[in-house]
Amino acid sequence: MEAGTAARPELARILANGLAAMQIDLPADAQTKLLAYLELLAKWNGTYNLTAVRDPAAMVSRHLLDSLAVLPHLHGATLADLGSGAGLPGIPLAIARPDLAVTLIESNGKKARFLREAVRSLPLPNVTVAQVRVQDAQGRFDTVTARAFASLADMLDWGGHLLAGDGRWLALKGHADAAELAAVPAPFSVLVVHSLTVPGAPGERCVIELARVTAAPMVG
């Protein structure tokens, strides 16, 4: 990591305190693997420009804790992370939930290369990398995540086919824009907007939870 491995105890403290504040209980080996992922991200970031966040302590809050805030809202046993980029939130969620089958969907070659290296080196046997456009991705998933990826309407237009019939779409946003919520296309509907408090991360954060709505049967 740019700050050197000597920074690991301080980063571990920030991570542990953040998890405690968010009331998220992870085993110690998961925290160790999260920090190993952060080291790998910082190492590759200089060449591949994976994130604009350069400070390791800020990465803990704005990448790890921000991603893990989604944990209570996961649905089912499979997850697709659209436009995964550096693997956020997909990789932290996969580390926290090794029982969850995670597919990272990323069309950019350099970013996909980093994701494959993370899966190999950490290692993450429950993670698959799909180097493909969201529109061309295949499969049906219980949970679909997207972090600062596009407008809700565009997200659903491009990737709505990936959501299982009873699945949940979790869009990570800074705030819930009323006009954007109103523009959600059928057959999808906003179920709830979860406000998030992420220690050390400035500004508003929320998860917009959506589902596929099936037409009610006609009566009479």
Mean pLDDT, contiguous 10-residue spans, the chain (220 residues): 59 96 94 96 87 88 95 98 96 98 97 97 98 97 90 95 97 93 96 94 91 63
Q: How many domains does the chain have?
A: 1
Q: What is the pTM of this model?
A: 0.92
Distance spanning both ends of the chain, measured CA to CA: 66
Residue 220 domain flag: no
Residue 217 domain flag: no
**DSSP string computed for 48-94:** H---S---HHHHIIIIIIHHHTTGGG--SSEEEEET-TTTTTHHHHH
Looking up residue 48, the CATH number of its domain turns out to be 3.40.50.150
Residue 219 domain flag: no
Per-residue pLDDT at 35 = 96
The domain of 187 spans 5-212
Report the C-alpha gap between 170 and 208 in whole angstroms.
6
Residue 160 domain flag: yes
Q: How would you classify the pairing of strands 188-196 and 205-212? A: antiparallel
Per-residue pLDDT at 216 = 47
Compute how many other C-beta atoms are within 10 angstroms of the C-beta atom of residue 65: 27
